[in-house]
Amino acid sequence: MHEARYLPHWEAGDVDGAVVAVDVIRAFSSAAYAFNSGAAAIHLVADVEEALAFKAAHPGVLAMGENHGRCIDGFDFSNSPVEVAKADLAGCTLVQRTSAGTRGVVAARSATRLWCASLVNASATAAAVLAADLGTPAYVITGRFEDHPDYGTDDLATAKLIERARRGEPLDADATAKEVASSEEAARTLAIGEGHVDPDDIVHATLVDLFDFAMEATREADGLWLRAIARG
């Protein structure tokens, strides 16, 4: 069996086959909680201006995300799983932009099939990748940056848990959740402070397999769309 690849976003552009973009703190944790709150679809974009333009052009669309971890003027939600978990999003369309997660998934432009994942939907993602029968996936570690190659340890730990689930190996879920919760990324995020980060965001992001749906991204005429796909 081939070994999975764990790539930063700047190496993901030419990768085909099954690709999983991982952002546990906090983009794809927030997306999963948004779907659980009833969201119908999420439009993924790389830039703040693109998100605001999409919202302006589509009345009723809600914007979710951050810039350098902080709330964005004109957005309806920050990049907070706690905040969107409390919202009634039944039937809503959202547009999401984040500094790492959405930029990373947009970069994976050659993927045959593309998923977004975090710990809260890890096993469901693994099952979806396995069912796609495209072979060993590549994981985009979205929290790693060219000027900070030491970042993204939280996403790497999450990706490795998903890969263990895909291979049918023990998840070691408690240890992984603790590793993510005690990571430097968790500390940096919490340090941003009130109004931008809920103190319980990390707790919400580290509830392994809370949701039994994968989140698949598809490229359509107007861009990249994320939808929840129930297992089975």
> What is the per-residue pLDDT across 147-164, written as a single tens digit (0 to 9) for each?
888 899 999 999 999 999
Does residue 232 have a pLDDT over 90?
no
The pTM assigned to this predicted structure is 0.97
10 Å CB burial of residue 202 (0-12, 13-18, 19+) is buried
Instruction: Walk me through the domains of the chain, giving residue ranges and CATH numbers.
Output: 5-230 (3.90.1560.10)
pLDDT of residue 79: 97
> What is the per-residue pLDDT across 70-124, written as a single tens digit (0 to 9) for each?
999 999 999 999 999 999 999 999 999 999 999 999 999 999 999 999 999 999 9
> What is the per-residue pLDDT across 28-74, written as a single tens digit (0 to 9) for each?
999 999 999 999 999 999 999 999 999 999 999 999 999 999 999 99
Please state, in angstroms and rounded to a whole number, the distance separating the CA atoms of residues 55 and 222.
13
